[in-house]
C-alpha cells in the first residue's frame, strides 16, 4: 500500500433505505470446477455501492478481483448469494433479461480498449446504441457529447491507430457511458499506460462517476490512485479481507 494512503478506521458502507442501490452484492460465493474439486474464487463477498460512489478494489493476483467484477457485471452466475442491480435480483432472471439488464444498466471497461480498427472514435460509440436499437440521430448527438466529456471532441473522426493509448482508453470510457449505465465496472484501466496518462484516466473516471452519478468499481494495482476514490475494498483469497473503508 502506498505511503500516501491514510490509515483509517473501518466503516461499512450503509445503503440508503429509500432508493435501491445501483449495485448490491451480498454473501456472494463463486466456485469454479478444478480437477476433481472446486476452487473458491469468491467466498461470501458483500459489497454495496451507491450512486456517485467510486470504490477501488485491490488485492494480490488470484485473490478474486476479476471474478468479483464478472459476477457484478452479470457475466458469471455466482454459486450462491445475491447480485442485485438497481434493486433487481439477477439470479432469477432468464439469460435474455440478464443480457438486457447488463446492456441497459452496466458499463464495462476492460484493461484493453478493444476498439474496432476500422471505426472512428464516434462510430465506436454509435455502434453500441445501434445494437440497443436507439435512433441514429440521437446516438450521434450523444456520442459527440460524451467525446467532449472525455476530452476528445477534436478526435471524433480518428481511428484507433491515430489515437494514443490514453486516448483509446478515453474512447473506451465514453463508449461504456453510451447506454446511460447506473453501474460502471472497470478492470485495471491503467495497466497499459504510463504514470501521467494513468492518473488522468483515473481522474476522468472520478469525474464521470460524479457527473453521471454512476456506482463505480475499479480494480487497480495502482494504490497511489486510491485516494481519488471514495472507498477501498481489499480482496484476499476470495474474501474481502477488511470491510470497505472510506478514503479520507
Ligand atoms: N475460469 C476459471 N476457471 C477456474 N478457475 C478460475 C477461473 N477464473 C479464475 N479462476 C481462479 O479463481 C481465483 C481468482 O481469480 P481472479 O482472476 O478472479 O483473481 P484476480 O484477483 O483478478 O487475479 P489477477 O489480479 O491476476 O487478475 C484464482 O484462484 C484463479 O485461478
Residue with cell 459527440: 144
Cβ atoms within 10 Å, residue 116: 11
Q: Please, are residues 30 and 76 in contact by the beta-carbon 8 Å criterion?
A: yes
Nearest CA to ligand 1 atom 25: 61
Q: Could you identify the atom of ligand 1 that is nearest to the CA of residue 59? A: 21
**209 inside domain:** yes
pLDDT tens digits, one per residue of 55-96:
999 999 999 999 999 999 999 999 999 999 999 999 889 999
Q: Is residue 61 part of a domain?
A: yes
Q: Which three cell numbers stand for residue 68?
A: 468479483
**Residue 205 included in any domain:** yes
> Nearest C-alpha to atom 11 of ligand 1 is from which residue?
41
CATH number, domain containing residue 55? 3.40.50.300
Counting from 1 in the atom list of ligand 1, the atom nearest the Cα of 32 is 4
Q: What is the mean pLDDT of residues 41-59?
A: 96
For the complex shown, is ipTM > 0.90? yes
| Domain with 105 in it | 23-112+178-246
Domain count within the chain: 1
Ligand 1 pocket by Cβ (under 6 Å): 32, 34, 39, 41, 59, 61-67
Measured by CA distance, the residue closest to atom 31 of ligand 1 is: 62
Q: Residue 149: inside a domain, yes or no?
A: no
Amino acid at each position: 500500500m502506498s505511503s500516501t494512503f491514510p490509515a483509517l478506521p473501518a466503516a461499512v458502507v450503509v445503503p440508503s433505505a429509500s432508493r435501491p442501490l445501483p449495485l448490491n452484492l451480498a454473501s456472494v460465493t463463486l466456485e469454479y470446477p478444478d480437477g476433481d474439486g472446486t476452487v473458491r474464487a469468491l467466498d461470501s463477498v458483500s459489497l454495496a455501492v451507491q450512486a456517485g460512489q467510486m470504490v477501488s478494489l485491490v488485492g494480490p493476483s488470484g485473490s478474486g478481483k476479476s471474478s468479483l467484477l464478472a459476477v457484478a457485471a452479470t457475466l458469471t452466475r455466482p454459486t450462491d448469494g445475491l447480485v442485485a442491480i438497481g434493486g433487481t435480483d439477477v439470479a432469477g432472471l432468464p439469460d435474455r433479461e440478464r443480457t438486457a439488464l447488463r446492456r441497459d444498466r452496466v458499463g464495462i471497461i476492460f484493461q484493453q480498449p478493444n476498439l474496432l480498427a476500422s471505426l472512428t472514435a464516434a462510430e465506436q460509440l454509435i455502434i453500441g446504441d445501434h445494437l440497443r436499437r436507439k435512433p441514429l440521430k440521437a446516438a450521434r448527438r450523444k456520442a459527440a457529447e460524451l467525446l467532449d466529456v472525455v476530452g476528445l471532441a477534436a478526435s471524433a473522426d480518428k481511428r484507433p491507430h491515430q489515437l494514443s493509448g490514453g486516448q483509446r482508453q478515453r474512447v473506451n470510457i465514453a463508449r461504456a457511458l453510451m447506454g446511460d449505465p447506473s453501474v460502471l465496472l472497470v478492470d485495471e484501466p491503467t495497466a497499459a499506460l504510463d504514470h501521467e496518462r494513468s492518473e488522468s484516466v483515473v481522474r476522468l473516471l472520478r469525474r464521470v462517476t460524479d457527473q453521471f452519478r454512476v456506482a463505480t468499481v475499479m480494480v487497480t494495482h495502482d494504490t497511489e490512485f486510491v485516494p481519488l476514490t471514495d472507498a477501498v475494498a481489499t480482496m484476499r483469497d476470495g474474501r474481502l479481507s477488511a470491510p470497505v473503508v472510506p478514503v479520507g
